[in-house]
Amino acid sequence: MDKNTRIYVAGHRGLVGSAIVRKLESKGYNNLIYHTHQELDLTDQKAVHDFFEKERPEYVFLAAAKVGGILANSTCPADFIYDNLMIETNVIHAAHKYAVKKLLFLGSSCIYPKFAPQPMKEEYLLTGELEETNEAYAIAKIAGIRLCKHFNQQYETNFMSVMPTNLYGPNDNFDLQTSHVLPALLRKFHEAKINNDSEVVVWGTGKPRREFLHVDDMADACVHLMENFDAKDVGEFVNIGVGEDISIAELADLIREVIGFEGEIRYDTSKPDGTPQKLLDVGRLNNIGWKAKIGLSKGIEKTYKWYTK
């Protein structure tokens, strides 16, 4: 990509999109295109095609999505599958129609079967049942991967897909009703410290294991792939993660330590745990020259500083 090439970042206000914008700007890219949801509704096919016809982006980072944690996914599954399918199909189809040189689609590690062998390799896709609580979101993301694959197959487009592990960092969602586990815990412990509470309640048993990647590392990986590789170089898609996981209980202890909360942690075992373990195999990514740089403790410290500001 040239520094003045026209690059469209879909979802530029979100966790991943904002990190990609920061990374591109830090590398000197100066012709970035983005619109808010109010300016451009990506679920509206005509609006998306009108936008592509007018703006003619050469490269596209498709980071826009309807996202949420266990509660949001399990209570609004129709919204999650519909909105995400519409966003993907509209943007990917328009990218083909208006001859985008390269597109990068962001999926999610929830695409893998609930009981997939650990760590999860790219070839485990569609080898078993999905986790029930986020099945709708996962199916939409799988459809996005296959859209890219089949457009490449039929039209020789250059659309690649990446599967990030659990992400966190600046511009995350800290709403306790819709957020993922790390930002939810960070907010809970922060408010408990401010209110001098005696305990923090954590959903589930604390036993499930999760992998966490700072979103600035994610953005670095995405830009690295766009600058140096084509879809044919990475296969159907490539995992992006750190290759190490941690239990929810260990995560809660780590966040308590970073924030300085001195009370107790109580586990509400009436609440769901979700998938027992989600750890990505990042061998393919490492083999093409990229590894995560930001450690979890340091990443949580950085995120907490951003949150308190």
Cα–Cα distance between 104 and 217 in angstroms, integer?
A: 16
Residue 111, pLDDT score: 94
DSSP 8-state class, residue 152: H
Nearest alpha-carbon partner for 190 in 176, 205, 204? 176
Three-state SS for 13? coil
Pairing of strands 7-10, 209-210: unpaired
Show the CA angle centred on residue 209, arms to residues 205 and 213, nearest 5°: 130
The residue written with tokens 């999926």 in the block is: 107
| φ, ψ (nearest 5 deg) of residue 265 | -115, 125
Residue 8, pLDDT score: 98
Per-residue pLDDT of the chain (309 residues; tens, 9 = 90+): 999 999 999 999 999 999 999 999 999 999 999 999 999 999 999 999 999 999 999 999 999 998 877 777 778 899 999 999 999 999 999 999 999 999 999 998 889 998 899 999 999 999 999 988 889 999 999 999 999 999 999 999 999 999 999 999 999 989 887 788 999 999 999 999 999 999 999 999 999 999 999 999 999 999 999 999 999 999 999 999 999 999 999 999 999 999 999 999 999 999 988 778 889 999 999 999 999 999 999 999 999 999 999
Max Cα separation, the chain? 60
- Alpha carbon of residue 195 to chain centroid: 32
Question: Which residue ranges make up each domain of the chain?
Answer: 7-171+211-242+280-293
Burial string for 171-206 (b: 16+ CB within 10 Å, else e) reads bbbbeeebbbbbbbbbbbbbebbeeeeeebebbbeb
H/E segment holding residue 219? helix 215-228
The tokens describing 81, both together, are 């599958």
Show the CA angle centred on residue 95, arms to residues 92 and 98, nearest 5°: 150
Nearest alpha-carbon partner for 160 in 284, 248, 13? 284
Active-site residue numbers? 137
DSSP E strands, the chain:
7-10, 32-33, 59-62, 102-106, 159-164, 166-168, 199-203, 209-210, 212-214, 238-240, 246-247, 264-268, 277-278
Length of the chain equals 309
On average, the pLDDT of the chain sits at 95
Residue 193, pLDDT score: 97
Just give the CATH number of 7-171+211-242+280-293: 3.40.50.720
177-182, long-range: CB within 8 Å, 24+ apart, which pairs?
A: 177/71, 177/72, 178/68, 178/69, 178/71, 178/72, 179/68, 179/69, 180/68, 180/69, 181/69, 181/210, 181/248, 181/251, 182/212, 182/251, 182/255, 182/300, 182/303
